[in-house]
Amino acid sequence: MSEFGKFGPLVGAIDEGTSSARFIIFKANSSEVVAVHQKELEQHFPQEGWVEQDPLQILDVVTTCIEKALEQLISLGGSPKDIITVGVTNQRETTIVWDKSTGKPLHNAIVWLDMRTTSTIDKLLDSVPNKTRNTNYLKPLCGLPLSPYFSAVKLRWLSDKVNIINKAMKKGTCYFGTVDTWIIWNLTGGPNGGKHVTDVTNASRTMLMNIETLKWDPLLLKFFEVPKLVLPEIKSSSEIYGYIANGPLKGIPVSGCLGDQQAALVGQMCMQKGQAKATYGTGCFVLYNTGEMRVNSSRGLLTTVAYQLGNKSPPVYALEGSVAVAGAALSWLKDNIGLLESAKKSQELAEKATENGSVVFVPAFSGLYAPYWRQDARGVICGITEDTNSNHIVKAALEAVCFQVRDILDAMNQDCGIPLQLLKVDGGMTSNALMMQLQADLIGINVIKAGFTESTALGAALVAYWGVDGTNQCAPIPMTSGITYSPRISEDERDMRYKQWKMAVDRSLGWDQN
């Protein structure tokens, strides 16, 4: 008689995204889901371009998801005792500062896509030696350009603008963390002995970690004026960080942690050098596994840690390109312009768009990310004629995501010298079959949609399982086969449409004069 119940050993995955959080219970070392609960997260927009969340609400939503998924497990005849470990995956770069003795946040979380730190960037560029204002000045150390996107810049803004945080940082009475750190610290006891840790993938997005040594870098800390006291300890992605202190999972280890895009890379089993995946959510993120070799991009891509499976293993690196606005463009068409009832309707409407309207939409609402990194870009819709209707604009919003993925893949091919053979895809927007066909058409290679929708949570579950059982590390797990989309348009048509996209991008630049 096994020590486990009817489902055998189980692994829990906390998947804390930008718009919702989930707790998913998997059969250990498999993609089979036993129970799941998801809950929406509120976002606050105090000013144009500012995006915040309440850290206590994030915690509350995570706790609720755990409780509800466990209720579901019990109703199916399983037991919480069968859960052997828990993994965490999270929205990256989102920045939280809290009082270490009370656990009380000292400010709302500043979310990754928040743009308030543009003025901070200007100030930091002024401090670059020789007055070069070179945005890539720190890239050799951390793999990242100076951009409002990364946590150190958000932390610097908080220190400059929020008096209580400035004082707490100087006294060393506060902790800084990305969302993974905040969740793990609270799960493992909070003010009563909680583990203040992060993993290499999340740390590699702060601009404070040295991309080679995987340690907080003294030069970077000095540049951003961040005291080391407030920073979490950097661990590998797959080891026991601590044990859950309270609640129905009390005593269970937390043994896996990955930023959400790296988790999707692992969940899609892109564990070989030269494999790549794109995840389509609020934004869209393309990661290309470069193995144990760091590729320094000369084309606007980020060098990031993909994962490190245990503290004795070498890190595996990736090149990453980020599209700021993917699903967010459909939300904008729905909420601001009233062209869509729901994102689900986008396929139906786009399919009605006649061919005699080549509208191009560049949704650069708050600048363009990779490979352009232009904060002064703003959204434009080009090619409007009297035949243009709302269907054309909806279709153009879908194509905009695909074109931006093409921008990134072109840069990756040039940086790595090895053209990608196929692209694995996951995330909410992949349920739109028209968009996936457009993606294959516009990049000219096969697009393979995962047969399994929870790649991100699966990645967290796998590294957590490997964190308690190193023997199965990286053994491929059986996956349901997905759908393959092959290109259907000619090279000439693809190039012509891409040329129009580039013309529209040119017109989006330079609008923000501040």
- How far is the C-alpha of 457 from the C-alpha of 449, rounded, in Å? 16
Kindly state the average pLDDT of the residues 355-361: 81
The owner of tokens 């040119």 is: 506
What whole-number distance in Å separates Cα of residue 381 and Cα of residue 384? 7
**pLDDT of 433 over the 50 cut:** yes
At residue 272, the pLDDT reads 87
Q: For position 474, what pLDDT does the model report?
A: 59
Q: How many CB atoms lie within 10 A of CB 74?
A: 13
- Return the pLDDT at 83: 96
Residue 479 has pLDDT above 80, yes or no: no
DSSP E strand stretches across 292-358: 302-307, 316-323
Q: State the Cα–Cα distance between residues 69 and 62, nearest whole angstrom.
A: 11
User: Closest Cα partner for 430 from 406, 447, 446?
Assistant: 447
How big, in percent rounded to 5, are the helix, strand and coil portions of the chain?
35, 20, 40
- Going along 204-315, which residue ranges are E strands? 233-235, 242-243, 253-259, 276-280, 284-291, 302-307
At 426, give phi and psi (nearest 5°). Answer: -155, 180
- H and E: helices and strands count for the chain: 15, 21
SS3 85: strand
Q: Is the pLDDT of residue 274 over 80?
A: yes
As a whole number, mean pLDDT of residues 189-207 equals 96
29 within 8 A of 472, measured Cβ to Cβ: yes
Q: Give the dihedral of Cα atoms 411, 413, 415, 418; nearest 10 deg.
A: 180
Does the structure show a pLDDT above 50 at 324?
A: yes
Model confidence over 9-66: pLDDT tens digits? 999 999 999 989 999 999 998 889 999 999 999 999 999 889 999 999 999 999 999 9
Residue 268 has pLDDT above 60, yes or no: yes
Are β-strands 422-426 and 276-280 bridged in parallel, bridged antiparallel, or unpaired?
parallel
Query: In which element (H, E) is residue 197 found?
Result: strand 197-199
Q: For residue range 248-260, list pLDDT tens digits in order.
A: 999 999 999 999 9
- Rounded to 5 degrees, what are φ and ψ at 321? -125, 135
Rounded alpha-carbon distances, angstroms, from residue 296 to 45, 57, 102, 177, 305: 35, 38, 41, 26, 12
Q: How far apart are CA 334 and CA 328, in angstroms?
A: 10
What pLDDT, on the 0 to 100 scale, is given for residue 472?
60
- Helix axes of 491-508 and 390-416: crossing angle, nearest 10 degrees: 100
Average pLDDT score over residue span 346-367 = 85
Instruction: Look up residue 294 and give its DSSP letter.
Output: P
Which structure tokens are listed for 467?
Answer: 């964190």
Q: Is the pLDDT of residue 343 over 50?
A: yes
With cut-offs at 50, 70 and 90, classify the pLDDT of residue 482.
confident
Residue 1: pLDDT band with limits 50, 70, 90 = very low
- What does the pLDDT average to over 294-316? 91
What is the model's pLDDT at position 194?
95
Whole-model pTM: value is: 0.88
